[in-house]
A and B are shown apart, each in its own frame.
Chain A
């Protein structure tokens, strides 16, 4: 069974930085593309970023491009999201998710971790 466990969330002031981690088990981590998806309090889901298994392909939402960096350590089965220049509208639960599908061009999110809350406020 695939398990994804996020950590690293917390309270940070605007302009600050935070690094999220997602520890994966039960999968061949290096073979799987991974993503971050966020959900602001009481709102819907927003895709944030995706990275291929080899880290050769990386995608970002425009809302985080230039501020967030996705990366992975396949030797430790861990996904990361480095978040810089944080803003109040980055406040959300951040979920990591494994991607399923035959190619990077066509894949969906399954399964999801339980999420970690990031609060950006002064």
Chain B
């Protein structure tokens, strides 16, 4: 099983600032990585797939990068609606596995 490790667990950011979230895979997943956003009481929402392709309707301030074992999700200028928990997920191997999440909170 591929273990996905996200850091940091919590990120405190002021509105308008940049947020950088990391995700590391225990073995290469090529570019088969997705990022999801989850707000309290809501279902997760797809942000990024293929490590760097934004899903339909996702604002350009969200960007993904990386391949192999190291991945980054960047939110260029945090808006109030971006404070949430973010999960990475690999779909290179079965079983599909998620990181434990990074909570982005208001500083």
Contact = CB atoms under 8 A, between A and B. Distances in A.
B94 A59 contact: yes
B97 interface: yes
Nearest to B44: A112
Looking at chain B's contact residues, the main secondary structure is: loop
Interface string A95-118: 100001100001111111111000
A112 to B, nearest CB: 4
Nearest to A61: B95
Contacts, number: 57
Classify chain A: how many residues form its interface, as a range.
Answer: 20 to 34
Interface residues of B, number: 23
A65 to B, nearest CB: 10
B94 A101 contact: no
Contacts of B45: 111-112
A44 B99 contact: yes
Interface of A: 35, 44-47, 50, 59, 61-62, 95, 100-101, 106-115
Interface of B: 32, 34, 36, 38, 42-46, 49, 55, 87, 89, 91-92, 94-101
